[in-house]
Structure 1
Amino acid sequence: MKWGDLVVFIQGIELCKRFQFEFVEPIIANHFPNLSYTSALIGPGSEVLGYDTEMSTDHDWGPRVILLLQGNDMYLIKDILQILHINRPQQFYGYPVDLNQTVITSLAQFLVSKLAIDIDKGIELLDWLTFPSQILAEIIGGEVFRDDTGHLTAIRKQLQFYPHDIWLYTMASIWNRIGQEEHLVLRAGYVGDELGSSIIGSRIVRDIMNLCFLMERKYAPYPKWFGTAFKKLDCANELLPVLIKVQSSGTWREREDALCRAYELLAQMHNRLGITEVMTEQVSPFFDRPYKVIQGGAFANAIVRQIIDPIIRKLSQIRLIGGIDQISDNTDFKSINQWSSVEQSEGRNIARALYNKILE
């Protein structure tokens, strides 16, 4: 089916909700009347975050749910799949039904596949730094249609956002990145390297956007939906035109002016959080050079002083490298939690092993 064939488009989350209540739930109630289970639309897929369009229907999209069984009911997976296959319609609201997209597992196995943790053993603070924000957004996004045990609802509440000290550490790390590169965009332009200046400017724009997500306590999605999600932030009305100006500037001086305005708005946002002493909201010279910067390192240091947990505080004093999203832009590396147990042998994954190494 081509994405343009349907006249009426149904958002994926609504389609899957209907699929649960009109097809899956009656079938399970009839054949497994005493089964306690959870049904949801979570995990990968643009429809989970609400960004799907007609074009999304051309692959990995359609009526589906994730069914989570209790551990002692896992033996029923094949039977449930068989019953669903026997009774499935060819189409549901005009969309083909592919039950290969319906996953049946346990909550524990689902979380291991996504976060590489045994949830029964709890989540340590360092673990949070190994969770890609996209994966966290996929777990708390979407919708839970049925949750007989309440376990998924409880986990989603627990993962709603970073613990306070992790929040502080990740924000400090991005401020530190800005402090390390804010003068480079100007230095490159000063020597006639407009392309290099523009590239560094784009890196800073991305850091600013990531910092805004953190300030508004939202998980940033991966690149395809990064700008789309940013538009929904409270700060976007004022900040987005400024960041577009940074991206479109033809000279480093124009870029500097736009960045300075962005820095000042960012500093105002920081002060409204009330997490540190009041910081200057005005740019200032970079030493004796003719460049204006916000002194991102000063913001990072002020935030670090507020971290209480001894391990996270120690990490922040040794290396402000941030979480996995700041460490790597590589999609495969960010999917490290879904690698084999061999790669996860130290600290559940390579990213955790890195933090452990720094803390030695």
Structure 2
Amino acid sequence: MLGRYVGHVPHTAARIGGGSEVLGFDTPRSADHEWGPRLQVFLHPADADRYAEKIVETLADRLPATFLGYPTHFVPTENEQVRRMAATEGPVHHRVEVTDLGTWFSRHLGFDPRRAVTVADWLATPTQALAEASAGVVFHDGLAQLVAARSRLAWYPPDVWRHVLACQWQRISQEEAFVGRCGEVGDELGSAVVGARLVRDLMRLCLLMGRSYPPYSKWLGSAFARLGCAPGLTPTLIAALAATGWRDREQHLARAYEDIAGMHNRLGLTEPVDPATRPYHERPFRVLRAERFAAALVAGISAAEIRSLPVVGAIDQYVDSTDVLSDPRRCRAAARAVLAGAEAPEAR
């Protein structure tokens, strides 16, 4: 359909980036904002400079008012930056973005995957952004660049994957004893909060083990539910969240730890690691000692550049601010600071 408006200009058309429909999580509720006939049209940079504005204007004048029964016109909601579908009899305020690939990738990811993707690029990019760029649909790749670029983003290189997995296990190791320690002093609320954090980290770990980029919090459970391990683990994780006493909470988490430890061993990324839970040193708290899995993964990394990295991982393994994670510039600045600290320990 767009060909008649873009004409002879070489272009690629796709629906990638933000939006629940890109990841396949949209429901009828999604139609109340920024959902509908939307896509990106990518041009060569010189063509984007020359034709983008004209194409946008042409689409506004000539797009049909509906497509497959959905309005192509979008009007502002209470938030002026957010729009929703609405009928129109005049020009169409459409949601067709016309740009070049380099500009789009730089704005969305902070780097251009048509060139070599560095370790720093992988680790500075939130998994949500990687999911949005590698999911969705390419309708027409007339530039013959987008499909190849997305294939590079499909999943982490093996050593980066091991590093990110190690860092996720490390996160779990740092708090797994606190469920019991909080409970021991009568802080059931604190124990429940720690337990919920651990459940979230275990869900993200399972997604990473399943080679699936964890989405942000709204869709984390929906993404987890798609995993083959979800039917077995979900009742245990829900029981951990629902527990009103720390001993029950610890028992359910311990079962989840052992199940997921078994999943790790079946991946074959390391030599088998004992999946049994155990006391936390001399304290009577049942834990996995998850740092053992982190250490085994780090030992299996062949690239010295990655093996020497601090065990903190990708940006969304140590940053939890939406305002940072939605801004590639801030993500890359934070990642640079972490890597610089690793290179110059005397400056800490």
TM-score (norm 1): 0.87
Which of residues 199, 202, 214 in structure 2 aligns to 1:220?
214
Report the equivalent of 1:333. Answer: 324
CA distance in 2, matches of 1:108, 1:100: 22
**CA–CA distance in 1 between the matches of 2:193 and 2:51?**
54
CA distance in 2, matches of 1:152, 1:77: 18
Q: Distance in 2 between matches of 1:120 and 1:55?
A: 35
For the 8 Å contact 1:243–1:262, the answer to whether it is kept is yes
State the 4+ residue runs in structure 1 displaced beyond 6 angstroms.
none
Specify the alignment match of 1:237 in structure 2: 231
Q: 1:77 aligns with which of 48, 52, 67?
A: 52
Residue identity opposite 2:342 in structure 1: I
Aligned-CA RMSD value:
1.5
The 10-residue stretch of structure 1 (109-118 or 37-46) with the greater mean CA deviation from structure 2: 109-118
User: Any conservation in 2 of the 1:264–1:294 contact (CA below 8 Å)?
Assistant: yes
* Counterpart AA for 2:275: E
Q: What does residue 78 of structure 2 align with?
A: none
Partner of 2:32: 58
What amino acid does structure 1 have at the position aligned with 2:158?
A: H
Output one character per residue of 1:191-225: Cα deviation in whole Å (capped at 9) or x when no partner.
11110000000111111111101100000111111
Question: Percent identity between the aligned chains?
Answer: 42
* Cα displacement (A) at 1:119: 4.1
In structure 2, C-alpha distance between the alignment counterparts of 1:77 and 1:107, rounded to whole Å:
13
Which residue number corresponds to residue 178 of structure 2? Answer: 184
Match 1:294 to one of 265, 273, 288? 288
Which whole-Å CA distance do the structure 2 matches of 1:174 and 1:105 have between them?
A: 36
Is 1:194 aligned to 2:185, yes or no?
no
* Contact 2:258 2:277 (C-alpha < 8 Å) held by counterparts: yes
User: Which of 307, 314, 318 is equivalent to 1:313?
Assistant: 307
Q: Distance in 1 between matches of 2:151 and 2:69?
A: 35
Contact 2:42 2:99 in 1 (8 A): yes
Correspondence 1:241-260 to 2 at 5 A? 241-260=235-254
Match of 1:356 in 2: 340
Aligned-partner SS, 2:21: coil
Question: Which SS does the other structure have where 2:106 is aligned?
Answer: helix
How many residues in Structure 1 have an aligned counterpart in Structure 2? 324
Correspondence for 1:5? none
Alignment match of 1:88 (pick from 60, 63, 71): 63
Q: Give ranges in structure 2 of 5+ residues lacking alignment.
A: 74-92
Does the CA contact (< 8 Å) of 2:240 and 2:252 recur in 1? yes
Q: Which of 17, 20, 24 is residue 2 of structure 2 equivalent to?
A: 24
Alignment of 1:31-46 (within 5 A): 32=7, 34-46=8-20
User: Post-superposition shift, 1:248?
Assistant: 0.3
Q: 1:138 and 1:76, CA in 2 relative to 1: closer, same or farther beyond 3 A?
A: same
When normalised by structure 2's length, the TM-score is 0.90
Residues 197 and 252, structure 1, Cα contact 8 Å, conserved in 2: yes
Is this contact kept in 1: 2:114–2:148, CA < 8 A? Answer: no
The alpha-carbon deviation at position 121 of structure 1 amounts to: 4.7
Take 1:106 and 1:155, find their aligned partners in 2: how far apart are those partners? 13
Question: Residues 51 and 260 of structure 1: is their aligned pair in 2 closer, same or farther, counting only changes over 3 Å?
Answer: same
Contact 2:17 2:132 in 1 (8 A): yes
C-alpha distance in structure 2 between counterparts of 1:296 and 1:61, whole Å: 41
DSSP 3-state at the match of 2:20:
coil
Of the candidates 155, 168, 187, which is equivalent to residue 174 of structure 1?
168
Structure 1 residues 112-138: Cα deviation after superposition (integer angstroms, max 9, x where no partner): 001112445522112201110001110
Q: In the aligned structure 1, how far is the partner of 2:105 from the partner of 2:224?
A: 27
